[in-house]
Structures are given as structure tokens and as C-alpha cells.
Structure 1
Amino acid sequence: MLVRDEVLIRPARMDDIEAIASFSAAMALETEGRALDRERLRQGTRSLLATPAHGFFMVAERGGATDSQVVGQLMVTYEWSDWRNAVFWWIQSVYVDPTWRRRGIFRRLHAAVMATAKADPKVCGVRLYVESANRVAQEVYRRVGLQPSSYVVFETDFILGHRRALADRPDEA
């Protein structure tokens, strides 16, 4: 049992869908100015939780059994590497409730993922992408030991389309 305001890091469960979808929507709005379709987001969250072969969510939960609250999250998805004959875990959908930021929530989520990944011989590494203009998040990621990659990500997004970061559009910044 948790003492009030103690934080537990654990795999997400189906009953976390609303909290995860809410955090994912807040993250998209905060980092990219995107308002996501909430029903599609709920369905996507449910699909991932129901299909472990696609990945998993980890959550940070505070409080006790009767008044627990999810205060942070991250999602892990998989990328096969033929070069390594193993998978990379991609950390995505990172969000910590603003009132819980700067309290080590992401650091603890990241540490749990790293410990689990290192213990699995089928995992060859952990990757994360971040919005190019999100300097605060980039500094947090550096502090936990993540380093910028030599790769640049390109995409064709069939659902949301492509939007450049606000920092890349000086006329709108």
C-alpha cells in the first residue's frame, strides 16, 4: 500500500485508458498545438493495451488504493533491427501532469523502462524522438543519459498530416 503522495511506477492497465488519453491529448496540444480526436485516441490507447505485441504504457501513480491518480506516463513501441537481430524500444507519448513536474516522475519512468529493456536480451537499445522546438524536454532527456542520435526522422503521416514545429515558422512564432 502506498503512503499518500508516494509514487508507484507500473505497467498501465485497461482502467488507465481515460487518464492516458487525457494526458496524450494534453501533450499533443502543449508540444505541437494539435487538438487530437479524443475518441480515436481512446481507441488507440485501448488497442495498444490489448495488443502487447505493439508495445505498452508505463504510468506513474500517486496515492493509495482509494484515492490513486495517474500523474505521468510514457509509451513504448518496438522497431525491429536486422542489423542487430533485436528490437529497439521507442519511448513515446511522454507526459507528466504539470503539478508533478520537476519531481523526478519522468526520471523514474525512464529508469523502469531502462531496467526492463536491459534485462531483456531481445532488446538492443532505447530510442526516443522529441519535437525539435521542445528544448525543455530535450534537456530532461539529456539529464537521464539519452543522447541526440545521428538520425533525422522523416515521415508521411496519413492521419494527422505534417506540421512543422513553431520554431521552424518564424512568421508564426
Structure 2
Amino acid sequence: MNKTMNEVISLDAVKNLINNPSKGFYLIVKKEGEIIGQLMITFEWSDWRNTTIWWIQSVYVLPSYRKQKVFFSLYQKSKQLAKQQNIKMFRLYVHNQNKKAISTYESIGMKKKSYIIFEEDFGS
């Protein structure tokens, strides 16, 4: 399940999001000047619900800070911001073999849904 990211593409993507807030935003947790956790929020318009849904993506907490409520604090801040903007729903996808992440998401009240994600990769 370990994935390798292309650092150049990832850095360009981060800059793109920061420079285009209509696409989403990042939340981070710092300790002593070091980023120890992050998540990204992106937006989906739902014609079924006539509302915007926030997608939680790019969740990462440094291994030495896991199980210390870093993700929980990011999630709580996300909920606070969502409520301020009248957002009614979060979604997130997680690899089905990432049992630790699934357990974490369930422990904060998120529920599994029946959706299956399909994709077709057109290359870069």
C-alpha cells in the first residue's frame, strides 16, 4: 500500500491549490515550527442535494505524532469552518486496506457508505 509521490508534481499541485482557493484549502498543525499534520479540503457541487460537499483529502500526520489527536484537531477545525459556511456534509475516500485510517475515521463518527470509486487515468 505504500505509494511513491512525484515531488515535483506534488509541489506544483500544492502551489496550485494555494494560489486558487476556489479549488480548496489546506489545514495544518504545527509544533515548534514543524508541520506535524495536514489535511486538504476540496469542493464538490451536488446536484442531488443542491449544496456543496467538502472532501477531506491528503490526510497526513507524522508517524511520531499519530494517536495524539492531531487528525482529530484538524477534523474539528474543518467541522467548525464547514458550519460557518453552511456546509452540510464531508466525504473522504480511503484505501480499503488502510485499516488504521478506517478505524480512525470511524472513531470520530464518520460512516462507511456504499459508493465505489471508478477512475480512468489519461496519463500526464
Which consecutive unaligned segments of at least 5 residues does structure 1 have? 1-31, 161-173
Length-normalised TM-score, structure 2: 0.94
Deviation at 1:149, TM superposition (A): 1.1
Equivalent pairs: percent with the same residue?
35
Q: Is 1:92 aligned with 2:92?
A: no
Kindly report structure 1 stretches of 4+ aligned residues shifted beyond 3 Å: none
Amino acid at match of 1:52: P
Deviation at 1:159, TM superposition (A): 3.8
- SS of equivalent to 2:111: coil
Partner of 1:72: 37
Deviation at 1:153, TM superposition (A): 1.2
User: Would you say how many aligned residue pairs link Structure 1 and Structure 2?
Assistant: 124
Provide the C-alpha distance between the structure 2 equivalents of 1:131 and 1:34, rounded to a whole number of angstroms. Answer: 11
Provide the C-alpha distance between the structure 1 equivalents of 2:116 and 2:17, rounded to a whole number of angstroms. Answer: 26
Amino acid at match of 2:31: R
Structure 2 counterpart of 1:60, from 8, 26, 29: 29
- SS of equivalent to 1:59: strand
Provide the C-alpha distance between the structure 2 equivalents of 1:148 and 1:159, rounded to a whole number of angstroms. Answer: 30
Which structure 2 residues correspond to residues 33-48 of structure 1 after superposition, within 5 A? 33-48=2-17
Which consecutive unaligned segments of at least 5 residues does structure 2 have? none
Amino acid at match of 2:72: R
Partner of 1:144: 108
Amino acid at match of 2:15: R
Partner of 2:66: 101
Is the contact between residue 96 and residue 105 of structure 1 (CA under 8 Å) also seen in structure 2? Answer: yes
- SS of equivalent to 2:36: strand
Is the contact between residue 84 and residue 124 of structure 1 (CA under 8 Å) also seen in structure 2? Answer: no
Provide the C-alpha distance between the structure 1 equivalents of 2:109 and 2:123, rounded to a whole number of angstroms. Answer: 32
RMSD: 1.3
Amino acid at match of 1:43: D
Amino acid at match of 1:51: N
Deviation at 1:85, TM superposition (A): 1.5
Provide the C-alpha distance between the structure 1 equivalents of 2:2 and 2:123, rounded to a whole number of angstroms. Answer: 16
Length-normalised TM-score, structure 1: 0.69
Larger radius of gyration: 1
